[in-house]
Homo-oligomer: A and B are copies of this chain.
């Protein structure tokens, strides 16, 4: 699966939340997420633009691989995610295999949905507040249309394309 994804920094959370609702987005729920990232064994994921992470989402655990970004505007990339039953054991397996752990990224994520577009307002520990707009697509052909759709929403929210951030929270923290 390919995740077409755009991220912007915001400083007006309440306003964005109100506007999302005006645009037809529905508030779904608030989640606490802790992401444990790992660096590669034979290559530096910072250089190859990949990611390997264990996510703890309110006590549900996932392992996720993210491939390199696929265009120059968005954070669109291949994403493969599997639900797992135990966080600490998976963490131990990855360490035994030789992956190097970096300090976890913690955030509170408010999720809104309109059709298959997901909007997340993230309050990220020590980094601030961000909006992510995301749409899953099945093929590279659908990617461009999905990106256009997301940029239209961004415009309707009065957010300029100049505010788009392609860096991950990990890169923004500068500790990978």
A89 within 8 A of B: yes
B-side contacts of A84, CB under 8 Å: 63, 82-85
User: How many residues on the A side are at the interface (Cβ–Cβ under 8 A)?
Assistant: 24
Decide if B92 touches A80 in the complex (CB within 8 Å): yes
B-side contacts of A97, CB under 8 Å: 40-41, 52, 65
A81 within 8 A of B: yes
Q: How far is the CA of A84 from the CA of B80 in the complex (A)?
A: 13
Q: How far is the CA of A33 from the CA of B75 in the complex (A)?
A: 39
A42 within 8 A of B: yes
Which of B65, B86, B96 is the one whose CB lies under 8 Å from A82?
B86
Which of B42, B93, B96 is the one whose CB lies under 8 Å from A41?
B42
